[in-house]
Chain A
């Protein structure tokens, strides 16, 4: 992070001396003023400490140009902006037991709905108002992502100003986009494409830019250099990022605009309001520095090796795989990451790149494991006339804290469960993405739904959420039963779909079949058990409200055991059509 303001305080910057000449010549006396051709001294409204504007070559004592960008209707309302004929949409949140509007889209603004309004009032104002719960965390994350994207492509220093705004330091950047107007226009076009309704202001100080973006007369305000104080003077005092109590007090004192506030004597102001108000005022006018805390875009982790002589045989390819994996592991360790997907690109002389992609079930930065996974697939690399460069790209990474080196010792001692992650990775990469899975019990009596596939490394049993102190379920002292009953007969093999059986001879309402035909063969039932009645799950599908299956386990004279069911309970017609199906086979 560049601490622009503070650096100049520690050691007076030669350029700063120009502007200090008039007021505080004592500080700058030893340093002769440096003048660059074509760049004279610009006087701010406050001689001696005025704000200044410098293009290109340097960044001075305080932020040169800052542009605050206001995403007025963040993430939730994004889609609304994209389509013009969108119905009014607001997001709501709850403050002190009241439901308030958090953000509103264009259509809602047009109807007079503004953030902070009671939700009931907004409902009255717009019939058919679409309301979503506010997601401040998501909004902040989206804003941070936007800041990172801007820092990558638009300007090196981008800071998040508050929940709805960004500061972009334009020092030495605007001319790359063809000037400030062109920059503002392009940025607004980009944001509109992304679905943000934005307001934008360019001024000499971050505070002034913030004020003009929020309270300025137009969506895009560009204050001419050194005229930013003139630009913010007609704005209300709330534009200065003051505390709400201070704004109310100033209002009662009859101070409405920034101009009136500036003209007040400073000392009583300081006594009455404390330092915060004066600091905000100074930050807006440029008397006080305001260091920005820029977002740091994460760097992609990769490892590259170019070869002086192209390589074409498996041994050097394998060896370089090892070396690159070791390098990648070091970079990952420095970044505190573990790789989840890694791509190896082998650049061939004839520009036909060979790509190998491996996935990992769990974040890992073990070089031996990574290179083993690559070496297994070494035969997929076709070197052709030779490979002149190899690169490892981390496609996906998760945070991974430093690991204890106890694994090998634990295994030798025979304690602990064996680590299956390397095996799962090896299998998944051999099966080309058809990763191994586990089966997890589901609380459902319908056989097809009672088992769910989960990723192989998912935690086997998730603890249920802790119950509240007055939860009625606390009264039940018994442990929860396993969702699968250990005694009720369940087949080992379940047919993918129940198959209809024909020529069934069975008495109603609850007798097992005596004879049935399945897949063209007839079976005579000797023994049978049942019925086990399983009702439809109406909470999943309304059509299952009355549905009933009566399951029977039957055995034929040769000892083959089947799981049959009949649709319907045999009494009420709406429970099923009394057709028989075979669902599985017992061992």
Chain B
């Protein structure tokens, strides 16, 4: 019955012509990124992997914030499965993820965590399901991908660095996109202080598209990342690398 209703609504919408169509993907709202993604954004009913570039807390926090920004722009409640309780909710709130939307669950190990994520994906009432794992093999990620298919819940896997120093995104995986986030020097200011955080964002692999790398600015309070604008006053002296990045990102 629900399918019939949805179809009828879709037809009505087309007749009324308000231009709204339920999009199966979640765009970043940045044409420089969305244009390079195969689906014009992150597919909602799919699994995506994110990892920090280096095994340090700073890059881990950047990857966390990247995920929080995506989840903030998803449509509904968010299930965040953790293994350690070091997430700081006020920090997530600054990326647009309001505390009443997030449901936390704590798992003991990777297997339990993946099972809980699957449970959340199959519930169909969540906007996003996020999990933090050390390692997840091809079979585990395929299970998540299968659970996500047919729904509107975006599955986000934050992969940590294993002890052996292997690349967390190097293992085979069923994820549609794999992202690597690395902290970069923040936006230069004309006065003392720390500007808006910047990352070197790298799409390592995507299905049906090419990998790319660019400099982006961290999410604002609505969870939107941005491409650094060419500063009116020009980049601060002695930051040649920055200027190059900006040129490459915008041009």
Taking Cβ atoms with an 8 Å cutoff, the residues of A that contact B are: 411-414, 417-420, 422-424, 426-427, 430-431, 434, 436-441, 447, 450-451, 456, 460-461, 484, 486-487, 489-496, 526-529, 553-555, 557-562, 584-587
Contacts and interface: CB of A to CB of B under 8 A. Distances in A.
B14 to A, nearest CB: 16
Given A496-B85, A559-B184, A431 B92 contact: no
Interface stretch (B37-45, B119-127, B172-180): B119-127
A460 B126 CA distance: 17
Interface of B is mostly: mixed
B233 interface: no
A439 B88 CA distance: 9
Given A491-B91, A527-B195, 12 more contacts: A418-B124, A418-B126, A431-B116, A437-B103, A437-B105, A447-B88, A451-B99, A484-B99, A486-B93, A493-B87, A527-B192, A529-B192
B94 A561 contact: no
B166 interface: no
B185 interface: yes
12 contacts: A418-B126, A427-B105, A430-B119, A431-B107, A436-B79, A439-B99, A450-B90, A492-B91, A493-B91, A494-B88, A561-B61, A585-B60
Contacts of A559: 58, 182-186, 197-198
B115 interface: yes
Interface in B29-80: 56-66, 68, 76-77, 79
B106 A491 contact: no
Which residue of A417, A426, A427, A434 has the most chain B CB atoms within 10 A of its CB atom? Answer: A427
A419 B123 CA distance: 10
B186 A451 contact: no
B249 to A, nearest CB: 16
B221 interface: yes
Q: Interface SS of chain A: helix, strand, loop or mixed?
A: mixed
B2 interface: yes
Contacts of B186: 527, 555, 559, 561
A434 B221 CA distance: 31
Contacts of A417: 76-77
Interface residues of B, number: 63
B210 interface: no
A439 B89 contact: yes
A438 B88 contact: no
A434 B106 CA distance: 7
A336 B199 CA distance: 57
Interface string B1-42: 110011001000000000000000000000000000000000
B31 to A, nearest CB: 23
A430 B103 contact: no
A437 B104 contact: yes
Nearest to B96: A486
B244 interface: no
A438 B99 contact: yes
Nearest to B66: A587
Contacts of A411: 2
Given A527-B193, A585-B61, A587-B197, A490 B94 contact: yes
Contacts of A557: 185
B119 A585 contact: no
A587 B86 contact: no
Which 3 pairs of residues, A with B, have the shortest CB-CB distance? A587-B65, A418-B125, A560-B58
Nearest to B120: A423
B66 to A, nearest CB: 7
A431 B106 contact: yes
Contact of B99 (A426, A440, A528): A440
B194 A554 contact: yes
A493 B116 contact: no
Interface in B92-115: 92-95, 99-100, 102-107, 112, 115
Contact of B68 (A423, A431, A492, A560): A492
A369 to B, nearest CB: 12
A440 to B, nearest CB: 6
A419 B100 contact: no
Contact of B183 (A412, A484, A486, A558): A558
A487 B94 CA distance: 7
